[in-house]
């Protein structure tokens, strides 16, 4: 009976396994960092959208706008921010 001298894993197999694990770990880390960056971007964008909406509603509820004798539009331009481009719009006054 011959006893095989090839027991266990070789050094090359262990190195390959470590490289594969490192690649998987790096990909997982990149995915987590990307998700975190996108979440920050979305949160800031939502806050800016809410601020723009609040400003638009304030324009609509001004007494000079609500009590306007004839329907009219008022140009309103929201400046660009880090997460949003310039937004030109118009507010409607009067009834």
> Beta-strand (E) ranges in 1-95?
72-78, 87-93
- Average of per-residue pLDDT across 52-70: 85
Question: What residues have CB less than 8 Å from 41, skipping those under 6 apart?
Answer: 83
φ and ψ at residue 76, rounded to 5 degrees:
-135, 125
State residue 75's pLDDT score. 87
Look at residue 14 and tell me whether its pLDDT is greater than 70. Answer: yes
State residue 1's pLDDT score. 55
Look at residue 7 and tell me whether its pLDDT is greater than 80. Answer: no
φ and ψ at residue 77, rounded to 5 degrees:
-120, 120
Cβ 58 vs Cβ 51: under 8 Å: no
State the chain's mean pLDDT as an integer: 87
State residue 83's pLDDT score. 82
């Amino acid at each position: 009976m011959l006893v095989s001298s090839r027991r266990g894993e070789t050094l090359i197999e262990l190195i390959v396994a470590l490289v594969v694990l490192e690649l998987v770990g790096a990909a997982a880390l990149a995915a987590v960092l990307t998700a975190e960056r996108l979440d920050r971007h979305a949160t800031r964008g939502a806050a800016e959208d809410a601020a723009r909406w609040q400003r638009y509603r304030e324009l609509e509820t001004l007494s000079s706008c609500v009590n306007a004798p004839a329907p009219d539009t008022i140009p309103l331009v929201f400046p660009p921010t880090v997460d949003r481009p310039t937004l030109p719009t118009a507010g409607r006054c009067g009834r």
